[in-house]
Structure 1
Amino acid sequence: MGLWNISKRNFDIVKLKIALNNPLTRKYVSYVLEKTEDGKTRLDNILENYNKYNKRFGFLPLEIIRKGLRISKEDFSKQLKRPLIRRVILASFNSVNDYGLQIPQTFSVPLMLVWNITNKCNLKCIHCYQDAGILRKRKEKKEKELSLKEKLNVIDKIVDAGIPTLAFSGGEPLIDKDFWKVARKAKENDLYMSLNTNGTLLTKENVKKIKNLGFAYIGVSLDGASAKVHDKFRGINGMFDKTMEGIKNLIEEGLQDITCISYTWSKQNYEELPKMLKLRDKLGLRKVVVYNFIPCGRGNFSNDTTAEQREKGYEIMYNDSLKNPGKLLCTAPQFGRYCIERARKSKENATIVLSHFGTGRIKELGVLAEIIGGCGAGRAYIALQPNGDISPCVYTPSTVLGNIRKDSFLDVWKNSSLLKLMRDRENFEGNCGKCENNKICGGCRARAYVYTNNYNGADPGCIKNAELFCNLNKNFI
């Protein structure tokens, strides 16, 4: 989390919003985003030369930010050398320039691109949102995957757009014959890279390659703490042992601090949650990421957890986060709602959720939770499909906003009428629109879509929509 990790200041969101929406502030932001003779913006030059800071006007806002975050000049200077931090700062300035400070914030560029680089997979997972592998039903000609040349061109387009973070997913990325060349180019362009894998191909050789490429995050899919549970999910016996072998290879290579368990939480395995947390601690891994089950692809509606089951799970996650700060992440926006409600009832320094980016304590990160604001689909992140289709979320591959073969990320991001609609939480329907936690949660837009065929519909995965969940499931099961 970069600067967030070393900041311990409690911000006043109202004062921050007033300050950043001040005409003088907006004028300054516009000024530093202007390009100079060298083709770079003034902000680029300020960030590059911060260690030569001499109290000139252009540097003062960075000094205000640094002092507000209570970060030493030395630490701040080190952070600014990281391409990720600089890209995030540039994106933040552009966002304030384009939209002002919003709650939650719409960003001028996606902070993260999730790239399903291939539909190929060596497993037969019963809950696969991508319907990947040999069981895949959709095999039309229009699904032709990008060529190596086109994939390398995608990296250029990511860099040109100023997108800071690239997450490789699939399918199984390590099966793709072009993966290593594409990842190499991403590294050469200083992109912050993460890898989501089923773990069965994490051989010693592949793990060394991953380490050398500088991946910052590795998510390994594990849906149970035993072979009995996990292998049933994966559709092939022996995969639990294979995946555990891959995790051990990561640990032996010293990558445990960037390795996470990716656990999809469904009706069939929701009772495994405490065991997954214990397994995380036993292996010494970075965290458990509890993925929101979304009934799409091969995921069946009958496997969805009820709102009541989810609420019990949130309690387990919340208590774990209090004991082990930063060791758990849940992609369900409602976990943010649960945390806020717990915080209102207690005087403890409660856990708060930063959407898909992490968890922390409310006294330090409360303002960021409001700015980042729950589901980020179409507002903070976007997805790219194997054939080049651009979609709002990895869980909605059939919704095509454009294709990278002919469209740019920024054109789609700024001009898509659907994305503009998804960003307007005032128009959300049902309890998701009326809820007092609308800004910090907003519900999962993919779940709303697959259940109601409406991106602005209510997400039935919340206790406040329990009746809706029951009614809708009668139609699907």
Structure 2
Amino acid sequence: MTEQNELGGFLIPKQRFSNYVRYLKNFLLNNFTKRKIPYTGQIELTIRCNSSCPFCSFHSLPPEITEGEMSTEQIKLLIDKIAELGVNALTFTGGEPTLRKDLPEIIHHTGIIHDFMNGIATNGYLMPKLLKEHSFEGLDYILTSIDYPTAKQHDRMRGIKVFDKVIEMIKIAHSRGIKVIVSTVVMKDNIHLLDEICELTERLGCSAELFPCEDIIREFPDKICQIVNIKDMIPNLFQWGRTIRDLKKKYDHILTDDFSIRVVEQGGFGKNTTFFQNVLRCHVAESFLFVKHNGKISLPCKIHPIMCVDAFKYPLDKLYNSEEVRAMIEMHDSYDFCKNCRLGCAIAASIPTNFRAVYAKYIRGFIDGNLR
């Protein structure tokens, strides 16, 4: 049986209790001192991918961009450095992180050696096999996707036969005590199916995130990647907001909170309105440490890097408290490229900086049973 601590009447697993203490420490440091420590970190293990989603450009990247992945030892050293900085949680993404054979070793180093709250973002295709072959001790959660309620529809969109594997992965993960969050990309042609998707994810015992498809312009050296017909997929944002609010009245496992809905409905960050200026500005440069597959830290954010720093050449504490990075942090969402940004990663990274938003998404969500 898992040892637990009681906090405010709630039971929290002992092996992750330190994360809550660390978050509180970072919140106080970031808000009441000049020292800055990101709340979360994300390592892009690879930008190779085995699916071909029409709203993503990763599957079409040329070899000169996808090459240069960090070695296992480099990633473990990077995790050591992030732990030394005092970051609270760490996630692994791609591309498709399960394409790396060292993923179980990386998870063990993260969750067991360093006690990070941690998770992986995966399409789920390889996960059933990996979960059967490895214990994945130390893994807290899996973030995966279900965009349609049937295998035929979902597999057509993802370009691989993955729906049934996702269902199998969820069942195995839950048998191991690993939580699963299902992130649905809401598009024009599936918004009418969200009720069916939520019914499915509730039955599977998962939490659900429901963010709209976005026009993501990825900037690489000498190359900019953008999906040509992406605007044909993006739903009406007010229809999306109304739909999510209605679904939240019916289902209690939906994580998408009112703060996030309001950011999206009002057109995203970069607006000089009362809500954005006084309630929730973008804090991604301050709160979210992102490391690319080649070991470069992207600042102020992973989509629009204006500074790329070798994570192995510079102490992370000095980097985050340097004049250059402090200036980026103070800019918040004032850059030209910030206008109309409503990406889930930027919103999620900004929520931990605002206690009202933390309460709305996490504390209230925990009380209401959204977090499963």
TM-score, with structure 1 as normaliser:
0.58
User: Structure 1 201/274 Cα, relative in aligned 2: closer, same or farther at 3 Å?
Assistant: same
Q: Is the 8 A contact 2:214 2:343 kept in 1?
A: no
The partner residue of 2:168 within 245, 256, 269 is: 245
The partner residue of 2:254 within 327, 330, 343 is: 327
1:295 is aligned to 2:230? no
- Cα deviation, residue 121, structure 1: 2.5
- Equivalent positions of 1:156-235 (< 5 A) are 156-187=80-111, 188-203=113-128, 206=131, 209=134, 212-235=136-159
Structure that is richer in strand per residue: 2
The partner residue of 1:283 within 200, 204, 208 is: 204
Q: Which residue of 2 aligns with 1:153?
A: 77
Tell me the alpha carbon deviations over residues 107-142 of structure 1, each in whole angstroms, 9 at most, x when there is no partner.
82111111111123222222235x14xx3225259x
- Equivalent positions of 1:89-108 (< 5 A) are 89-99=24-34, 108=36
**Partners of 1:425 and 1:405 in 2: CA distance:** 26
- Equivalent positions of 1:4-19 (< 5 A) are none
- Cα deviation, residue 196, structure 1: 0.8
Tell me the alpha carbon deviations over residues 86-118 of structure 1, each in whole angstroms, 9 at most, x when there is no partner.
21122122213325xxxxxxx821111111111
Q: Which residue of 1 aligns with 2:349?
A: none
1:117 is aligned to 2:53? no
1:85 is aligned to 2:13? no
**Partners of 2:98 and 2:228 in 1: CA distance:** 29
* Code of the aligned partner of 2:47: N
* Code of the aligned partner of 1:126: P
Q: Is the 8 A contact 1:121 1:172 kept in 2?
A: yes
User: Structure 1 420/240 Cα, relative in aligned 2: closer, same or farther at 3 Å?
Assistant: same
Tell me the alpha carbon deviations over residues 221-244 of structure 1, each in whole angstroms, 9 at most, x when there is no partner.
2222223332232223x2222322
User: Structure 1 263/336 Cα, relative in aligned 2: closer, same or farther at 3 Å?
Assistant: same
User: Structure 1 117/319 Cα, relative in aligned 2: closer, same or farther at 3 Å?
Assistant: same
Q: Is the 8 A contact 2:119 2:140 kept in 1?
A: yes
- Cα deviation, residue 421, structure 1: 3.8
**Partners of 1:95 and 1:274 in 2: CA distance:** 39
SS in 2 for 1:110: coil
Q: Which residue of 2 aligns with 1:315?
A: 242
**Partners of 2:49 and 2:64 in 1: CA distance:** 14
| Higher alpha-carbon Rg | 1
- Which stretch of structure 1 is more off in the superposition, 282-291 or 301-310? 301-310
* Code of the aligned partner of 1:231: D
- Cα deviation, residue 294, structure 1: 3.4
Percent identical: 20
- Cα deviation, residue 445, structure 1: 7.2
* Code of the aligned partner of 2:312: R
**Partners of 1:118 and 1:408 in 2: CA distance:** 23
User: Structure 1 242/80 Cα, relative in aligned 2: closer, same or farther at 3 Å?
Assistant: closer
**Partners of 1:217 and 1:374 in 2: CA distance:** 27
Which residues of structure 1 form unaligned runs of 5+?
1-50, 52-65, 100-106, 341-354, 356-368, 433-441, 449-477
- Cα deviation, residue 339, structure 1: 8.8
Q: Which residue of 1 aligns with 2:319?
A: 412
* Code of the aligned partner of 2:156: K
Q: Is the 8 A contact 2:299 2:305 kept in 1?
A: no
- Equivalent positions of 1:364-379 (< 5 A) are 373=280, 375-379=282-286
The partner residue of 1:444 within 334, 342, 348 is: 342
The total of aligned residue pairs comes to: 327
SS in 1 for 2:182: strand
- Cα deviation, residue 394, structure 1: 7.0
User: Structure 1 402/445 Cα, relative in aligned 2: closer, same or farther at 3 Å?
Assistant: farther
* Code of the aligned partner of 2:310: N
**Partners of 1:171 and 1:426 in 2: CA distance:** 26
User: Structure 1 276/253 Cα, relative in aligned 2: closer, same or farther at 3 Å?
Assistant: same
Which residues of structure 2 form unaligned runs of 5+?
1-5, 219-224, 270-275, 347-372
Tell me the alpha carbon deviations over residues 313-372 of structure 1, each in whole angstroms, 9 at most, x when there is no partner.
111112222444452327x975134799xxxxxxxxxxxxxx9xxxxxxxxxxxxx9998
User: Structure 1 305/415 Cα, relative in aligned 2: closer, same or farther at 3 Å?
Assistant: farther
User: Structure 1 399/304 Cα, relative in aligned 2: closer, same or farther at 3 Å?
Assistant: farther
**Partners of 2:312 and 2:175 in 1: CA distance:** 40
Q: Which residue of 2 aligns with 1:14?
A: none
Q: Is the 8 A contact 1:223 1:269 kept in 2?
A: yes
Tell me the alpha carbon deviations over residues 243-268 of structure 1, each in whole angstroms, 9 at most, x when there is no partner.
2232233344454xx21112122345
CA RMSD of aligned residues (A): 4.0
User: Structure 1 163/371 Cα, relative in aligned 2: closer, same or farther at 3 Å?
Assistant: farther
Q: Is the 8 A contact 1:125 1:234 kept in 2?
A: yes
* Code of the aligned partner of 1:150: Q
Q: Is the 8 A contact 1:264 1:291 kept in 2?
A: yes
**Partners of 2:118 and 2:279 in 1: CA distance:** 20
* Code of the aligned partner of 1:223: D
